[in-house]
Amino acid sequence: LNGLDVKGIKRERLVNILTALQKERQTFRDKVNIANKVFTSTIQDGSVLRECPETLVKAMSISNDPTKGPWKVTLQPHIYEPFMQYCPDRNLRWNVWQANAQRCSNYVNKELETGTNLENIRAHRKEQAMILGYETFVDMSMETKMAGSHENVNSVLDSLLESARSMQDVEIELLQRFATDRGFDVKLEHWDIPYWQRKQKWSLYSFDEDKIREYFPLPRVINSLFNLCSSLFKIQIVERSDIHTWHRDVKFYDVYDESSNIPVAGFYLDP
């Protein structure tokens, strides 16, 4: 798949295609990242955030005092996803949802539309596959996948859909009933589901994802990860304090194996 057996003009063309693919993918990512920040919805009324966790309120705060506001909603995942779960105002949820749904489309900002980039990626991938002797990019991709063929993938998806769709319909019906019993007198839409799912989980199981995070502070998680690596790979990961970093939260770690007192590797960790 790396094209080592491709020679001459085809080899030159393959190199150009791979370069173009890398550029298109990076452009796509850049546009999405910019679009996530371009849209903003400013909230002045603090009561809208009464159900939001403190971490979300701080992330949205524009002022130095997160409790006083104003607060800014963007499409960045760490804000968008919890906001849709915790915002009780349906109109605000719709506004943020529709902005996310139309992100990078021709309807919002033509300079940030990604449809052209996607089509270019598809065209480059098809040509890449044909140069390497495959009919389609999917056929080429399946060479390194356990599924083996796109027919197998489609078969699994079809079987999952057949068995899961009925249960999904039941879950939506139960969620609709749950919301209706609590005064929600209209049909659930896409922008309503995350909010009511969270409330349903709490009602049934007293389950709150934000509360669970309290039991997994970063130092404990990192320490557990390093212990697991030590057990699995027979290595020791030790923090080094004499390394200058670009931020006080960034740490540098040396990696030792069991047979040496000299580091065999090292890495920075930027949480």
For the stretch 77-94, pLDDT in tens is 999 999 999 999 999 999
The answer to whether 18 and 90 are in contact (CB under 8 A) is: no
pLDDT in the model for residue 108:
78
| Rounded average pLDDT over 64-88 | 95
pLDDT in the model for residue 96:
98
The answer to whether 167 and 56 are in contact (CB under 8 A) is: no
Kindly report the backbone phi and psi dihedral angles of residue 200, in degrees, each rounded to the nearest multiple of 5, phi listed first: -65, -45
For the chain, the domains span 10-111, 218-269
168-188 pLDDT, tens digit each: 999 999 999 999 999 999 999
Q: Among 30-39, 58-67, 132-141, 205-214, where is mean pLDDT lowest?
A: 205-214
